[in-house]
Amino acid sequence: MKRSHSIIIFIVIALSLLSCSGNGNGVSSDKGDTIKLKYADNMTMIRHEGYTVVTLKNPWKEGKTLHTYILVPHDKELPDNLPKGTIVRTPLKKAVVATSVHCGLVWSFNRGDNIKGVCDVRYINLPAITAGIKSGKIADCGSGITPTLEKIIDIDADAILISPFQNNGGYGRLDEWKRPIIETADYMETSALGRAEWMKFYGLLFGAEKEADSIFNGVEKRYNELKALAKTSKTRHSIIIDKMNSSVWYVPGGMSTIGGIIADANIDYPFSNDKSSGGVALPFELVLEKASNSDIWMFRYNSSMKATLGSLLQENGGYSQFKAFKNGNVYGCNTYSNTFYEDTPFHPDLLLRDFIIITHPDIISLGEPKYFEKITR
């Protein structure tokens, strides 16, 4: 009898301790409703009564979690027994957004006023952001790799959206900051629509769930229509992407979002068998060996001066050995003067369209490319 009584007391004490756990450290018995994601592999979202749990898979460590966020609306009290994770009060009202990609997305939600700080200003081609910096409404928080913590504290930011790089041991002084760090690992998705679908997470963060759903539905429809159109082409060309950057050539991995867009555009790609979901750093000699016979060369660059075939040869005389260069089938995208990086990660239909126009001349219904133009002498 005494033994049974002791067991009952132990259970009561254990349950009491569980119910008193701190916010974000308890265990929730509410299984919640899963928010359906059709394409994204590295994220799950589950809506519970009073909060939403967003779990990001670690794309560099199979079976591991990169981060778990507990999204709780500002107008709600923190529920008891929240699961473990970083609590984020939504919508974000004073966010620091470290990449031009996500600045463009937040602006497309009509939530631009919620951006109070940015990083890597010289790479942002959004007039509203530039004007905000000049007027002092938006703070320049330095480099996206090492943001200036003092600036972030000065604007009393409620979170920072920052790109993780292989989760390489933290974020320096930002780790001392007691506000949420939103790890924008969308670029590690293996499909273009999978990456674009992450906008549903960002929509929840900024109180723009309906806007995000509407934008994504339009992107999905246009992308799949273009993919089907590419299959009707009677031409089949091969392509090489980008160019030397210092001593290496970064090519999109075969499992990267750009690698997927190339495949969906019905184009041959010499690195399609590579299993990387990001960029792959290769020496010039290896790229030449594998891609010298590619029919078309498309590359991105950032310069106040327009690229020419001559300027390419000044950078690296070896470019003349590529078939595409010899035949004048070279196309450049100058990100200094267009919004390629702001647009295409979450609107991959726009990049797919350019690929189809350039590589399938028999498809004439799409007009001129939006980002790429032919490089001449």
Mean pLDDT of 279-293: 97
- The length of the chain in residues reads 377
Give the residue among 230, 226, 202 at the shortest CA–CA distance from 216: 202
Question: Which amino acid makes up residue 5?
Answer: H
Position 323 pLDDT exceeds 80: yes
- Could you give the CA distance from residue 73 to residue 52 in angstroms, rounded to a whole number? 9
Distance CA 290, CA 226 (A): 28
Q: What is the mean pLDDT of the chain?
A: 91
Rounded-to-integer distance, Cα 99 and Cα 203, Å: 16
| Ramachandran category for residue 214: left, alpha or beta (phi over 0 → left; psi -120 to 50 → alpha) | alpha
pLDDT digits (tens, 9 = 90+) for 168-180: 667 888 888 999 9
Q: What is the pLDDT of residues 175-209, one digit of tens each?
A: 889 999 999 999 999 899 999 999 999 999 999 99
Query: Hunting for tokens 């519970």 — which residue is that?
Result: 48
C-alpha–C-alpha distance, residues 233 and 359, integer Å = 10
Distance CA 258, CA 58 (A): 20
pLDDT in tens, 233-269: 999 999 999 999 999 999 999 999 999 999 999 999 9
DSSP 330-354: EEEEETTTS-HHHHTTT-HHHHHHH
Q: Which residues of 99-138 are buried (b: 16+ CB within 10 A; e: fewer)?
A: bbbbbbbbbbbebbebbbbbbbeebbbbeebeebbeeeeb
- Extract the tokens encoding 101: 């990609």
Q: Determine the average pLDDT of the residues in 222-232.
A: 98
Residue 139: which of 119, 125, 165, 159 has the closest Cα?
A: 119
Contacts of 173 (CB under 8 A, 6+ apart): 146, 149
pLDDT score at 278: 86
The structural domains of the chain, with segments of one domain joined by +, span 17-89, 234-374
Query: H helices within the chain, ranges in order?
Result: 2-19, 100-108, 127-135, 149-154, 192-196, 199-205, 209-230, 257-264, 284-291, 309-315, 323-326, 340-343, 348-359
DSSP letters for 93-133: SSEEE-SHHHHHHHHHTT-GGGEEEES-GGG---HHHHHHH
What pLDDT score does 187 carry? 93
Give 102's Cβ-side CA count (13 Å radius). 31
Of 4-18, 23-37, 88-102, 271-285, the least confident = 4-18
* Angle ∠(101,104,110) on CA atoms, nearest 5: 150
pLDDT digits (tens, 9 = 90+) for 89-104: 999 999 999 999 999 9
Cβ within 8 Å of residue 6, ≥6 positions away: none
Residues with Cβ within 8 Å of 266's Cβ and at least 6 positions away in sequence, in order, are 230, 231, 233, 236, 356, 359, 360
Cis amide bond preceding 91, omega within 30: yes
Task: Domain 234-374: give its CATH architecture.
Answer: 3-Layer(aba) Sandwich (3.40)
Distance of alpha carbon 181 from alpha carbon 170, whole angstroms: 10
Residue 13 has pLDDT above 50, yes or no: no
Query: pLDDT confidence of 35, banded at 50, 70, 90?
Result: very high
Q: Which among 174, 198, 165, 217 has a CA at the least distance from the CA of 69?
A: 198
